[in-house]
Structure 1
């Protein structure tokens, strides 16, 4: 087990998942879910309280990539010990003139997930999911559930197997 949490099969507990995550969790048969205090959803507080090492926790951020007046969105998944190179690797990969973290209200409305719980599982169809190679190589990682009150545990290889996922060196 990872940390001090009661991990249960995610597909059997859809009430602990945001609606789009619950609809897509069947694509990740090894996924487990655990309920947490929503006040401790942010990575550092979560890892400290529940005994999850930072290197087993991954963050998913929504990026807005702009080029010629058009805005495209993508998700980046990196281990909590790293930061995504949004202005370099991500911007170039997406062919954008400018790339930045999407504003909170935009990220939550587009994903239909809560801020602090956004996860790569269940993102809008066609969004690139850029997964850092270290996250994809991890035996197990903890990510958001789409809600602040729970987390998902899944194999790193499951991140690489998500629809529209691409594994690359994203971390600075």
Structure 2
């Protein structure tokens, strides 16, 4: 393992380039980092080790001195129209909430939208509940990103596992496959 680097925020025992610890990441996340085509994006991602019992956002932010406005949550939604279900991921700052009933439903052209069941989200992403991240989502899924996340210099997101998180620039998140930056996605 390489030498620890200083993250842009937070109080972590170790922070290393994520590409150097792909074995510690969920398989879809590791694969996405290795295959990310956006120049400089994968190299900009840091992995910070953390206690899996502290993975929930509010607890994590308090324990590791992370400002909640620099933490983003990734949620999986199911949008339905005419018997068809479209799964998508939404990314919003922890100080806000995704507007599923209006912004997501309207953007996806659905009659109804709701959070996907936990079992479905975990099974289809190949990630752990409490660690779902926009990095490594299933191919073809829309990734709706609130404009405040994309504009942030750095944001903390899940790593695909409850142990550890990723810190990366907002611009890199906006260059993930399927990413669409939307104003008003979160309220």
TM-score, normalised relative to structure 1: 0.98
SS in structure 2 of the partner of residue 21 of structure 1: helix
Q: How many residues align?
A: 172
Cα offset, 1:16, TM superposition: 2.2
Residue of structure 2 equivalent to 1:59: 73
Picking from 126, 140, 164, the partner of 1:126 is 140
Greater C-alpha Rg? 2
Q: Which of 20, 25, 31 pairs up with 2:33?
A: 25
CA distance in 2, matches of 1:135, 1:150: 20
- Give 1:4's aligned residue: 11
Give distance in 1, aligned partners of 2:173 and 2:102. 22
Q: TM-score, with normalisation over the residues of structure 2?
A: 0.90
1:42 alignment counterpart: 56
Of 21-30 and 114-123, deviating more is 21-30
Give structure 2 stretches of 5+ with no counterpart: 1-6, 37-41
Asked if structure 2 preserves the Cα contact closer than 8 Å seen for 1:139 and 1:155, the reply is yes
Structure 2 residue 110 is the aligned partner of structure 1 residue 96: yes
Structure 1: tracts of 5 or more residues without a match: none
